[in-house]
């Protein structure tokens, strides 16, 4: 196969398109930087709130008994891409967990928060999907969103015994880690032995408390996830802009070389034509 040397027109076209792309990625980076600043600011109180909500599970060391069958996995991500490995890391953890749990003989259902999770799991693990939540990631998450998710979960009719929320925990601007936090059903918590040291709990109060804690944990994971996503998008767009500038530099050099070659060829044609 003989490939023609790129003409000036081809290079010009490519250069123009890459310059446009660079403008877009730069502006996306600015937007994510602004959203990230806001998300990180809101994460600070949300983190304390979330650790407060999880404190009971940690201090009382509540564990579901081994023979309980029904498990629930909630994968928290978002609708929009171009943020690096955010969605794939959550989906990978979900897939591993599904495999482990089904091998252990448990029944698993998956709830996806964010359209990307649904897309990534659809082909291979589509039959495990219980609920999907869309329109995630457009606006910063609020407690109202978390309570909507909790409400739908409780109304879904799937009586899970225990479960976990898989989300991306924000560590720093350049790093995040996929993390798992446990959730328990009302029966598991009520039946747990360490709960007997807690005084004066009746079933109604415990149910209210459990539902509220579920919403709290979801809120915390949503906040962490958004911050990780915005920082990852910022990094990804920054890298894309850098790559684009590299390509622009290289292409500009090629363009100049090609231009000079074209001029030299014309000159030679003229000179040899004149000589002939």
Contact residues for another protein, defined by CB under 8 A: 42, 44-46, 48-49, 52-53, 55-56, 59-60, 142-143, 197-201, 204-206, 208-209, 212-213, 216, 219
Alpha carbons within 13 A on the beta-carbon side of 254: 17
Nearer to another protein, 134 or 198 (CB): 198
Q: What interhelical angle do 86-103 and 203-275 show, nearest 10?
A: 130
Supply the minimum distance, in Å, between the C-beta of residue 41 and another protein: 10
What's the CA gap between 132 and 154, in Å, rounded? 14
What's the CA gap between 114 and 214, in Å, rounded? 18
**157 contacts: CB under 8 Å, gap ≥ 6:** none
Nearer to another protein, 124 or 142 (CB): 142
For residue 163, which of 203, 88, 213 has the smallest C-alpha distance? Answer: 213
Supply the minimum distance, in Å, between the C-beta of residue 31 and another protein: 23
Structural tokens at position 32 = 């994510």
Nearer to another protein, 67 or 204 (CB): 204
Supply the minimum distance, in Å, between the C-beta of residue 157 and another protein: 19
Nearer to another protein, 158 or 209 (CB): 209
Supply the minimum distance, in Å, between the C-beta of residue 156 and another protein: 19
Burial 96-111 (b: 16+ CB within 10 A, else e): ebbeebeeeebebbbb
Supply the minimum distance, in Å, between the C-beta of residue 202 and another protein: 8
Q: Which secondary structure element, helix H or strand E, spans residue 267, and what is its range?
A: helix 203-275
Nearer to another protein, 143 or 158 (CB): 143
């Amino acid at each position: 196969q003989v490939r023609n040397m790129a003409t000036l027109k081809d290079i010009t076209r490519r250069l123009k398109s890459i310059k446009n792309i660079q403008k877009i990625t730069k502006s996306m980076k600015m937007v994510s930087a602004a959203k990230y600043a806001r998300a990180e600011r809101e994460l600070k109180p949300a983190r304390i709130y979330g650790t407060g909500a999880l404190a009971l599970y940690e201090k009382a060391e509540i564990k579901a008994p081994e023979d309980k069958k029904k498990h629930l996995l909630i994968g928290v991500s978002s609708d929009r891409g171009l943020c690096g490995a955010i969605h794939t890391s959550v989906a990978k953890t979900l897939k591993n967990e599904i495999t482990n749990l089904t091998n252990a003989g448990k029944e698993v259902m998956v709830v996806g928060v964010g359209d990307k999770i649904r897309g990534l799991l659809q082909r291979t693990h589509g039959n495990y999907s219980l609920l999907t939540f869309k329109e995630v990631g457009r606006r910063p998450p609020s407690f109202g969103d978390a309570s909507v998710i909790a409400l739908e979960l409780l109304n879904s009719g799937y009586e899970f015994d225990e479960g976990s929320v898989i989300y991306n925990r924000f560590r720093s601007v350049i790093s995040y880690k996929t993390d798992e936090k446990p959730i328990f059903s009302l029966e598991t918590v009520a039946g747990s032995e360490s709960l007997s040291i807690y005084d004066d709990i009746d079933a109604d109060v415990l149910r209210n408390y459990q539902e509220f804690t579920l919403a709290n944990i979801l809120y915390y994971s949503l906040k962490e996830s958004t911050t990780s996503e915005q920082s990852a998008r910022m990094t990804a767009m920054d890298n894309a802009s850098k790559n684009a500038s590299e390509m622009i530099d290289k292409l500009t050099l090629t363009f100049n070389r090609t231009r000079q070659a074209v001029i030299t060829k014309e000159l030679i044609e003229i000179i040899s034509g004149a000589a002939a």
